[in-house]
Amino acid sequence: MPPVCHRLSDQFARSGQRGGIVAVERLRLLPDPRRRRGVRHPFVAVLLVAASAVVAGARSYAAMGQWAANAPQHTLARLGARVVGALSVRVAPSAATIRRGIGLVCLGGLADLTGTDPAGSDSIAVDGKAARGSRHGTSPAAHLLAAMTGDGRTVTQLRVPDKTNEITCFTALLAPYDLTGVTVTADALHTQRAHVRFLVQEKKAHYLLVVKANQPELHRRLRSLPWKDVIARRYDREIGHGRRETRVTSALTVTDLGLDFPHAVQAARILRYRTDLATGKCSRQTIYAITDLASQQASPQRLGQLARSQWAIENRLHFVRDTTFREDASKVRTGHGPENMATLRNLAINALRAAGHRNIAAGLRHASYEPFTRPLHLLGIG
């Protein structure tokens, strides 16, 4: 695994996320990791070429280099490409130059500068994903921990160091950001007392965390609560993706029930009933969650929405990167390449959503019809 990169400071993270999706001024905050000898192309230009190519549909270094080689002079000028000769001809970086730049640039800095500012957001979901194609020999696949706002915009991302897990990166992922009043959701792996204290006491945020068998005593206590007597319930029904689903969300105040979990105020139980419309097969799932939000702050309806925002990171980020960008099939493996390529895909998703595209695949096709102008417009370049 490549050396660990340092995150941007709080000041840099905030300054990097003001304004539009991406700008030259923001990426200038990144230090150039290349050796001075032999450097020909401006580092910012290399990053902007890579980002624009991804929005145009590039999925590999070779595709990025091909996009750059075919870019007209006016596009290269907007990207700040290298100028040579008396005629001031713009020269695009090659695929090899792009590969070296993406492989060297610090993940934490690039992800922080190209993400969205979560301050004032309703909620943030935290979840991890393995880039399966990055596995090589005895080296495991890169595991990436990301944070996404409730409206589908990626905040930032970190690579989880080998021989450890997501738990060790949770606080580092969110530390640079102002989370005052934001509700952070996460799956059962992050239902940790230290995480809760960090969110509530240090970041002045709220939490809603799923509880499963990895916290056996807490899970047992939640299951034994008097759910049959609860009258605070919410019923939601929907049809889509070939199935019919009914969700029943019940909420119960637990401050006087000896639950022994930091800042816990309410517990929620969500019953999910699913019917496959093709086969008629029915299934049932019971999910327990815990939160510091009081009943006045979060009704059963609100708790159900927060739970769905956590599940949405799978569909709106990880699934999109897998299916639309073919991330799991990518053979990018060296340096910081796997995580930085994923960050560029996150940036493309953010830019398309900001432009009003609800379907990312359709948005990429729209950008590809004018590949040397529309991606730059979407990214706010020039």
Residue 337 is which amino acid?
G
- Determine the longest span between alpha carbons in the chain, in angstroms: 83
Consecutive H or E run containing 45: helix 43-55
pLDDT given for residue 4 in this prediction? 45
Q: Are 110 and 50 in contact (CB under 8 A)?
A: no
Question: Going residue by residue through the chain (382 aa), what tens digit of pLDDT does each one get?
Answer: 444 455 554 544 554 454 455 667 788 888 888 888 878 999 999 999 999 999 999 999 999 999 999 999 999 999 999 999 888 899 999 999 999 999 998 767 888 888 999 999 999 999 999 888 888 777 888 899 999 999 999 999 999 988 889 999 999 999 999 999 999 999 999 999 999 999 999 999 999 999 999 899 999 999 999 999 998 899 999 898 788 999 999 999 999 888 889 999 999 999 999 998 889 899 999 999 999 999 999 999 999 999 998 988 998 999 999 999 999 888 888 888 999 999 999 999 999 999 999 999 999 999 999 999 999 999 998 7
pLDDT of residue 105: 86
pTM of this prediction exceeds 0.85: yes
Output the pLDDT for position 353.
Answer: 95
Report CA torsion sign: 139, 326, 31, 40.
Answer: positive
Residues 156 and 140: their CA atoms lie apart, in Å, by: 22
pLDDT value for 347 = 94
Q: Check residue 198 and report its DSSP letter.
A: I
Using alpha carbons, select from 298, 315, 310, 297 the residue that is nearest to residue 209. 310
Question: What pLDDT is recorded for position 19?
Answer: 46
Query: How much is the pLDDT for 34?
Result: 85
Could you please report the per-residue DSSP string of 309-370? HHHHHIIIIIHHHHHTS-GGG----STTHHHHHHHHHHHHHHHHHHTT-SSHHHHHHHHHTS
Residue 373 CA to residue 354 CA, distance in Å, equals 17
